[in-house]
Structure 1
Amino acid sequence: MNRYIQIFLITNLMLGTFIVIFSTHWFSIWIGLELSTLAILPLLTSNQISRSNEATLKYFLVQAFSATLLLNGVLMNVWLTNNWNINLTNNPLPNFLILFSLITKLGLAPCHFWFPDVLSGLSFLNGLIISCWQKIAPLYLIITINSSFPNELILISGILSVLIGGWNGLNQTSIRKILAFSSISHLGWIISISFFNNNISLILFFLYIIITSLVFLLSYIMNTKSLSNLNNLTLSPNLIFLYIINILSLGGLPPLGGFINKIIPIYIFTNNFNYLFLLPFLIGSLLSLFFYLRIAFNTNLILFPQHSLSYLNWNTNFPSNFNYFISLLTSISLLSLILLPLFFSFI
């Protein structure tokens, strides 16, 4: 793809998200969501993966369906309230349509079916955009106006996402599908906490973006397609170490930065005496932790018998600038645990 066209598409992709964040008019929000969708479609088909066209078509159909639901819900809301501001009516039907369309865009349960298939057909860089940047606008809308939505539906969707993300990730060998179910599980935690505290949800989503971006970038550089080729990596030992650290952080192991995304929701649930709701989240978290540990062990902690000179295969001439960049982001995710007492002040 031409470089200038690529810059133009990325600019429109970012512009669409910013329009959604800074708009209070439903039509502008819908325009922003559609601008992001149309801008990313050519980017998804620009890689050399054989399944990219199929994945792009699936993504387009799902986004078109959810955009139709959103527009119908918005028009019903305008008809009932006689204004385009994002002040929803108490009528359950437009509220349900808008919430269902946003959940579909996020790929949360029970509308998660498309997300693993789409992500498995894309490159890691495009998967990073789908898993992080394209989640910002719909998640921001849910967090901003969640007081008008049926809270039970948000909580049920969060519980199902955590359980389905953990359970379906167990029998996967593709790294892309594992990361897809990981994203579903993490977003389930985030939208469930928006039921209690919007500020904490935004903080947890920011940490999720940092850690997930690191895992996608390292997977792209190391070209890790499946679990079977993780133990044959011949890259820099530093990158292997950072990959293991970020995978375990994504699983929420203390004292890594991803532990914040687990301990704060657990504290909020126990502080509000929602022990019954906390149980499925803990079960889903343990299920997810299993396949994170499996990736970490397959990467370099368990090695097949090798020749004593196998260390010569290590590539020590990897670009130092990229090493510094990855190390910086990893340090930010790790040091975020120091700010844990500050996060509790928002609760």
Structure 2
Amino acid sequence: MNRYIQIFLITNLVLGTFIVIFSTHWFSIWIGLELSTLAILPLLTSNQISRSNEATLKYFLVQAFSATLLLNGVLMNVWLTNNWNINLTNNPLPNFLILFSLITKLGLAPCHFWFPDVLSGLSFLNGLIISCWQKIAPLYLIITINSSFPNELILISGILSVLIGGWNGLNQTSIRKILAFSSISHLGWIISISFFNNNISLILFFLYIIITSLVFLLSYIMNTKSLSNLNNLTLSPNLIFLYIINILSLGGLPPLGGFINKIIPIYIFTNNFNYLFLLPFLIGSLLSLFFYLRIAFNTNLILFPQHSLSYLNWNTNFPSNFNYFISVLTSISLLSLILLPLFFSFI
């Protein structure tokens, strides 16, 4: 793809998200969502890997369906309120249509079926955009106007996402599909906490973006397509060690930064005496931890030679384009636990 066309598409992708964030008008919000969707479609097909066209078509159909639902819900809301402001009526039907469309865009349960299939057919860099950047706008909308949505539906979607993301990730061998179910599970935690505290949801989503971006970038550099590929890596031991650390951080193990995404929601649930709701989240988190540990274990097997007579041809060429970027993200991921007392001040 031509470089200038690529810059133009990325600019529109970013612009669409910012239009949604800074808009208070339903029509401009819909325009922003569609602008970012149309801008990313050529980018998804630019890397001609197997199944990229199929994944792009699936993504387009799902986004078109959710955009239709959103527009119908918005038009019903405008008809009932006589204005386009981002306010919802007390009528449950338009509220449900808008919430359902945003949940579909996020790939949350029960509308999650498209997300693993789409992600498995894309490159790691395009998967990073789908898993992180494209989720900013719909998640921001849910967090902003969640007081008008049926709170029970948000909580049920979060619980189902955590359980389905953990359970379906157990038998996966593809790294892309594992990361897809990991994303579903993490967003289930985040959207459920918006039921109690919007500020904490945004903080947890920011940490999720950092850790997930690191894993996608390292997977791209190491070219790890499946668990079987992890046994054949001949990269720098430092790079493999970074990969293990960030995978364990995704699992929420202390003292890594991903532990914040687990301990703060647990504290909020217990502080509000919602022990019954907390149980499925803990079960789903343990299921997710299993496949994180499986990736870390398979990678750890090739981290150091078995004995002094074992010779591995380590490739120590670290891609310079990602040197500083990965270093900064890793520092934030590892040291963010220090800011845990600060995060508790938002509760």
TM-score by length of 2: 0.98
Q: Deviations over 1:104-159 (max 9, x none)?
A: 00000000000000000000000000000000000000000000000000000000
Q: Deviations over 1:237-295 (max 9, x none)?
A: 11101000000000000000000000000000000000000000000000000000000
| Residues 89-98 or 293-302, more deviating | 293-302
Task: Please give the alpha-carbon distance, in whole angstroms, between the structure 2 residues aligned to 1:203 and 1:218.
Answer: 23
Rate the CA distance shift 1:310–1:219 in 2: closer, same or farther, 3 A.
farther
Task: Please give the alpha-carbon distance, in whole angstroms, between the structure 1 residues aligned to 2:328 and 2:89.
Answer: 45
* 1:114-153 mapped onto 2 (5 Å cutoff): 114-153=114-153
* 1:178-217 mapped onto 2 (5 Å cutoff): 178-217=178-217
- Conserved? CA contact 1:162–1:185, under 8 Å: yes
Is 1:256 the counterpart of 2:256 in the alignment? yes
Task: Please give the alpha-carbon distance, in whole angstroms, between the structure 2 residues aligned to 1:246 and 1:200.
Answer: 22
Q: Deviations over 1:153-184 (max 9, x none)?
A: 00000000000000000000000000000000
3-state SS of 2:307 partner: coil
- 2:101: which partner in 1? 101
Q: Offset at 1:324?
A: 3.6
- Conserved? CA contact 2:20–2:137, under 8 Å: yes
| Residues 166-175 or 327-336, more deviating | 327-336
Rate the CA distance shift 1:236–1:304 in 2: closer, same or farther, 3 A.
closer
Q: Deviations over 1:201-225 (max 9, x none)?
A: 0000000000000000000000000
TM-score by length of 1: 0.98
Rate the CA distance shift 1:116–1:80 in 2: closer, same or farther, 3 A.
same
Unaligned runs of 5+ in 2: none
Task: Please give the alpha-carbon distance, in whole angstroms, between the structure 1 residues aligned to 2:108 and 2:255.
Answer: 28
- 1:65: which partner in 2? 65
| Residues 233-242 or 189-198, more deviating | 233-242
Rate the CA distance shift 1:340–1:49 in 2: closer, same or farther, 3 A.
same
Q: Offset at 1:305?
A: 8.7
Q: Offset at 1:231?
A: 1.6
* Aligned-pair identity (%): 99
Q: Offset at 1:334?
A: 1.1
Q: Offset at 1:311?
A: 4.1
Task: Please give the alpha-carbon distance, in whole angstroms, between the structure 2 residues aligned to 1:332 and 1:67.
Answer: 35
Q: Offset at 1:303?
A: 7.5
Aligned residues: 347
3-state SS of 2:312 partner: helix
Unaligned runs of 5+ in 1: none
Q: Deviations over 1:49-100 (max 9, x none)?
A: 1100000000000000000000000000000000000110000000000000
| Residues 42-51 or 101-110, more deviating | 42-51
- Conserved? CA contact 1:30–1:67, under 8 Å: yes
- Conserved? CA contact 1:33–1:137, under 8 Å: yes
Q: Offset at 1:309?
A: 5.8
Task: Please give the alpha-carbon distance, in whole angstroms, between the structure 2 residues aligned to 1:319 and 1:292.
Answer: 25
